[in-house]
């Protein structure tokens, strides 16, 4: 959370052509429990439109351990040198503000980072994804480092997953958990035991992976979505180049001929709905006819002065009225026949009542109603409601 906020603040300075030159954890101010601000602009310089860097001429004290190699060698500061400092600031955050390159002079630090190519080690409590971002910030050549605008997206997508404890865990030397505690996962390279931070106690430690739930195998931002109107995942775009595959920006021609296209799926759904409707009609006929007479009965036309049947009604009881979900009230026909179990009836208005709900038949005769296929006919475009059981 703080890393994203810092990168956003630095992206703003970058857009206004300001070089901070002293980005470090000591200059990140805690405004509230979940909000930080960048401070200390004493070394900040504005770049004009003709240059992309600032060269320090006078002898001034600079924070050697946070500086990029080009700053230590030639006093050159730019947005790219600020990115290097951002990487060191992230390292501080995950080491609980240890001092980088402790006890070394500026010359020694330059030899290690520039000549020997050494970098600060990955902190124990730093997720691998964020450690990889630090390494990008410490690229030897300034032009190879990401911009702060890009870093904002990278850090946001690399946020660790969160899981929830399903039971209490009090093993000595391990992360103490209570049921429903929220845990930020730091390392899950070991399949059985993970390392994380309890968001309730802020303690960090190891815990059994079997004691948590709500696990997402990867943060949502790391998985590219399928293309619109397609159920085929033809490619994957990742923040790490070695994880990219396929075509995340287009639908390959080979996949267009693969089964599971949108048209096939829609046709399958229509077949399924048609089958459900025919099964429902058979069930209604079985319940509404005496034993031995299971043939379909032709639809009756509703009387001219009758009201349009409701799509779904709830009977208030034997002989009572039905209250429509659309606000209307329809009377139960006096000459309707009920079975011995009082569960079904065939009203005169053509509506079918099954277990307390009304299923509409022959609605095409009423303005504004949905068309319904007659019993016994098959249709691949059956759009009628199947009712509510």
Alpha helices in the chain (DSSP H): 2-15, 69-74, 79-94, 106-110, 128-137, 148-157, 253-256, 262-288
Two tokens, residue 101? 């390159």
φ/ψ of 352, rounded to 5, equals: -105, 130
Catalytic residue (choose from 22, 82, 181, 349):
22
How far apart (Å, rounded) are the C-alpha atoms in residues 131 and 134?
5
Q: What is the DSSP string of 300-336?
A: PPPPTTSPPPPSSEEE-STT--EEETTS-EEPPPTT-
Give yes or no: 349 in active site.
Answer: no
Residue 242 DSSP class: G
- Which of 48, 54, 8, 47 lies closest to 28, judged by CA? 8
Measured between alpha carbons, how far is 162 from 124 in angstroms, rounded to an integer?
A: 18
d(C-alpha 151, C-alpha 155), whole Å: 6
Per the DSSP assignment, residues forming a β-bridge with 71 are: none
- Cβ neighbours for 115, distance < 8 A, ≥ 6 positions apart: none
Cα distances (Å, whole numbers) of residue 151 to 145, 156, 190, 308, 320: 10, 8, 28, 63, 68
Enzyme catalytic residues: 22
């Amino acid at each position: 959370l703080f890393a994203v906020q810092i990168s956003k603040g630095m992206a703003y300075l970058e857009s206004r052509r300001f070089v901070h030159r002293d980005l470090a954890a000591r200059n990140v101010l805690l405004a509230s429990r979940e909000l930080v601000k960048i401070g200390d602009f004493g070394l900040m310089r504005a770049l004009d439109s003709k240059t992309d860097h600032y060269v320090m001429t006078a002898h001034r004290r600079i924070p050697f351990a946070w500086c990029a190699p080009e700053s230590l060698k030639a006093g050159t500061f730019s947005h790219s040198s600020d990115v290097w400092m951002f990487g060191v600031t992230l390292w501080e955050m995950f080491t609980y503000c240890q001092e980088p390159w402790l006890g070394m002079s500026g010359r020694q630090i330059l030899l290690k980072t520039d000549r020997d190519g050494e970098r600060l080690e990955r902190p124990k409590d730093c997720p691998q994804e964020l450690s990889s971002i630090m390494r990008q910030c410490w690229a030897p050549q300034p032009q190879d480092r990401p911009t702060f605008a890009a870093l904002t997206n990278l850090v946001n997508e690399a946020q660790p997953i969160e899981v929830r404890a399903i039971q209490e865990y009090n093993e000595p030397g391990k992360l103490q958990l209570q049921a429903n505690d929220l845990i930020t996962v730091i390392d899950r390279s070991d399949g059985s035991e993970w390392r994380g931070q309890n968001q309730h106690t802020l303690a960090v430690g190891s815990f059994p992976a079997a004691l948590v739930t709500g696990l997402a195998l990867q943060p949502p931002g790391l998985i590219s979505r399928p293309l619109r109107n397609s159920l085929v995942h033809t490619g994957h775009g990742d923040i790490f180049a070695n994880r990219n595959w396929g075509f995340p920006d287009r639908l390959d021609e080979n996949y267009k001929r693969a089964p599971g296209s949108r048209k096939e799926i829609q046709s399958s759904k229509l077949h399924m709905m048609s089958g459900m409707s025919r099964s429902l009609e058979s069930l209604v006929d079985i319940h509404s006819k005496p034993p031995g007479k299971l043939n379909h009965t032709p639809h009756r036309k509703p009387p001219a002065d009758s009201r349009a049947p409701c799509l779904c009604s709830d009977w208030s009881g034997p002989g009572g009225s039905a209250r429509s979900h659309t606000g209307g009230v329809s009377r139960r026909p006096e000459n309707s026949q009920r079975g011995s179990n009082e569960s079904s009836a065939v009203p005169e208005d053509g509506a079918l009542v099954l277990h307390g709900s009304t299923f509409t038949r022959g609605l095409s005769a009423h303005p504004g109603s949905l068309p319904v296929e007659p019993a016994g006919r098959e249709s691949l475009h059956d759009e009628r409601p199947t009712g509510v059981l």
